[in-house]
Amino acid sequence: MSTTNITLTHSCCIEGMKKMPSGQTDLIVTSPPYNLGIDYNTYQDTHERSAFISWCLEWALEVKRVMSNDASFFLNVGAAPSNPLLPHQLLLALTEDKDTPLFTLQNTFHWIKSISVKNRTGETTSVGHFKPINSQRYVNDCHEYIFHLTKTGNVQLDRKGAGVPYVHKSNITRWGHTEGADKRCRGNTWFIPYDTIKSRAKDRPHPATFPIGLTEQCIRIHGQNREIHLLDPFNGIGTSAVAALRMGISSYTGFDIDADYLSITRERLAAEEAQDQRP
């Protein structure tokens, strides 16, 4: 594991980012509050919709300012079955200003948390984790969005960096674009389940986390360069920080208004480093 310069700041992300230099951040992976009434320690997750969107535009403006021209901004947004339009309303606000839109939507990824598929013998297998809901109107929601936003829509990606092997190996030589490599673009559906936990209070003491593998996937597809500077404006308990450490990228910056979450982040990073030093 390479050394990663990690900076954690107890601050509102807007004020924190204002102190960062312009144009020097390569990658942003974050999941802001969804305004769905989630029970965070400090943040109040219930606001009038227009006020929430305005606040998102405020922090997103700072995100754009700190981004380099070829940076990628991966925005994870989920919805509730009874409130399905929020991700799309936020995306439109970020991309559809008539004069100067903040961002271009370059890709949309679907983070699949749970899926059921038939195998070749016809048996149905379910894998992953889902949170069941008690409703006769809605089905269980097993996915969230990852919007890949850039300044121009022309950012080059390492499509095979997060790729998968060919099922039918004859395709390796059949298609010229493979260049003989047994790896193809994964596409825009990412099955990334949560790690199994024994105690939520101990293993996942935050009401709205995403898996470390999700940030790792974003790093790979953007291009795993040692000199990457990764930013997560909503650090939470440090999922992106742990991913930065595991992937050995140059530096990470995280902001959070909750001091307890930052303390947990430091504990997770210390545990990760201790594990890496074991013989």
pLDDT tens for 144-160 read: 999 999 999 999 999 88
Q: What is the distance between the alpha carbons of residues 271 and 269, in angstroms, rounded to a whole number?
A: 5
Of 276, 254, 261, 211, the C-alpha closest to 8 is 254
Residue that the structure tokens 């009401």 belong to: 207
pLDDT per residue, tens digit, the chain (279 aa), is: 458 999 999 999 999 999 999 999 999 999 998 665 444 445 454 557 788 899 999 999 999 999 999 999 999 998 888 788 999 999 999 999 767 889 999 999 999 998 988 888 889 988 887 778 888 888 888 899 999 999 999 999 998 888 887 777 777 677 667 666 777 788 999 999 877 655 445 555 544 578 999 999 999 999 977 789 999 999 999 999 999 999 999 999 999 999 999 999 999 999 999 887 655
What pLDDT does 199 receive?
44
The 3-state DSSP class for residue 208 equals coil
Each domain of the chain, given as residue ranges in start order, spans: 5-276
**The domain over range 5-276 is classified in CATH as 3.40.50.11240:** no
Dig out the tokens for 97 from the structure: 């200003």
Q: What pTM was estimated for this model as a whole? A: 0.88
Cα-trace Rg, the chain: 19
Contact between residue 94 and residue 57 where contact means Cβ atoms under 8 Å apart: yes
What pLDDT does 279 receive?
58
Contact between residue 108 and residue 189 where contact means Cβ atoms under 8 Å apart: no
Q: At residue 183, what is the residue type?
A: K
Q: How far is CA 170 from the centre of its chain?
A: 34
> 155 φ, ψ to 5°?
-75, 130
Residue that the structure tokens 């992937």 belong to: 247
